[in-house]
Amino acid sequence: MSEITVITSGKGGAGKSTVTAGLGYALSQHSGRVLLIDADAGLRSLDLMLGVGGTTMYDLADVFAGNCEPVRAIYPSPVFQNVFVLPAPIRLEDMCTPQEMRSLCRGLAAYYDQVIIDCPAGLGHGFDTAVAAADRALVVSTPDMVCARDAQILGHLLEEKHLRTHLIINRLRPAKVMDGSMPDVDEIIDTAGIQLLGIIPEDEEVAVANANGRPLPSACNAAVCFGNIARRFLGDSVPLARLEKM
Ligand SMILES: Nc1ncnc2c1ncn2[C@@H]1O[C@H](COP(=O)(O)OP(=O)(O)OP(=O)(O)O)[C@@H](O)[C@H]1O
Ligand SMILES: [Mg+2]
């Protein structure tokens, strides 16, 4: 059975969906079929990022309402080879319970090499539901102290739930760190209190790829970082890139 990973953040907009899509794509190039589950009911975004926006008929709510078998609500991305997406309910109130999410994901995990769940921001029912199925968690933080402190709170909650948890720092601007106008990586890690898995720089290619529902160009900074994060995620030892090379 594949591993089930949840991508979380305390603050909205930290980059959870971007990391779900970018890591999902990078993992598909190393470890086969990857299922991305959008658990952000009411504010879904993975369907657009994966290039299936506007073409989907069923979503998580339909699976639990008995309108379709799970397989009918899972769509292969036309542009991210070997990546599949299960869209979130359109309405927040149609989200399933944590127990339902757990049993669905455990069943689906037999058919994919990796399952990644995109969590809504913050805490509450959406967080509890997305986390219920997971074996491990990635907490996404931008390089600011407020976001890092929220990451620390999430880290404690995830630890209580016995999830193996790592930190991803997203939207780092190396030049700003080097000139001292943004906190450095060690400060963020110390505040979050979570072991670092990797760093993704601010990269305009990310916004372009997300907006057009296509993968990042393979040579761009963010794509190289996602590739390294995927290898570390799978257990390889890959050194962090130096800031000036990012
Ligand atoms: N490394 C990056 N470089 C440039 N833009 C980025 C980067 N990461 C994310 N973005 C942009 O930031 C915005 C928010 O990203 P995203 O939707 O992934 O965040 P989120 O945490 O999923 O948000 P929400 O909490 O609303 O679900 C998007 O417009 C995305 O394109
Ligand atoms: Mg999101």
Q: What is the pLDDT of residues 79-104, one digit of tens each?
A: 999 999 999 999 888 888 999 999 99
Write down all domains in the chain, each with its CATH number in brackets.
3-234 (3.40.50.300)
Q: Which residues of 48-67 are buried (b: 16+ CB within 10 A; e: fewer)?
A: bbbbbeeebebbbbbbbeee
Q: Is the pLDDT of residue 11 over 90?
A: no
Spell out the residues 6+ positions from residue 120 whose beta carbon is closer than 8 angstroms to its own.
39, 40, 41, 43, 126, 127, 130
Measured at the alpha carbon of residue 146, what is the angle toward residues 189 and 235, in degrees to the nearest 5?
Answer: 30
Q: What is the mean pLDDT of residues 162-190?
A: 93
Q: What is the DSSP string of 52-76?
A: -TTT----HHHHHHTSS-GGGG-EE
CA 84 to chain centre: 14
In angstroms, what is the span from residue 65 Cα to ligand 1's centroid?
Answer: 30
Q: What is the mean pLDDT of residues 166-189?
A: 93
pLDDT of residue 31: 76
- With a pLDDT cut of 70, the percent of the chain lying above it is 100
- Hunting for tokens 């907490």 — which residue is that? 139
Using the atom order of ligand 1, give the atom closest to the CA of residue 207.
Answer: 31
Segment 116-132, tens digit of pLDDT: 999 999 888 899 999 99
pLDDT of residue 82: 95
Minimal-distance CA residue to ligand 1 atom 11:
207
pTM of this prediction?
Answer: 0.95
Best of 11, 17, 127, 208 to mutate for ligand 1, by most ligand atoms within 8 A of CB?
17
Specify the length of the chain in residues. 246
pLDDT of residue 135: 95
Q: Is the pLDDT of residue 224 over 90?
A: yes
pLDDT of residue 1: 73
Report the chain's mean pLDDT, rounded to a whole number. Answer: 93
pLDDT of residue 27: 96
pLDDT of residue 128: 95
Burial of 152 (0-12, 13-18, 19+ CB in 10 A): middle
Q: What is the dihedral of CA 38, 41, 45, 46, to 10 degrees?
A: 10
CA atoms within 13 A on the CB side of 9: 24
Q: Is the CB of 5 under 6 A from ligand 1?
A: no
Q: Are 117 and 23 in contact (CB under 8 A)?
A: no
Q: Is the CB of 7 under 6 A from ligand 1?
A: no
pLDDT of residue 170: 97
In angstroms, what is the span from residue 2 Cα to ligand 1's centroid?
Answer: 26
Q: Is the CB of 141 under 6 A from ligand 1?
A: no
Q: If you ran DSSP here, which 8-state letter would residue 93 be given?
A: G
Q: Is the CB of 12 under 6 A from ligand 1?
A: yes
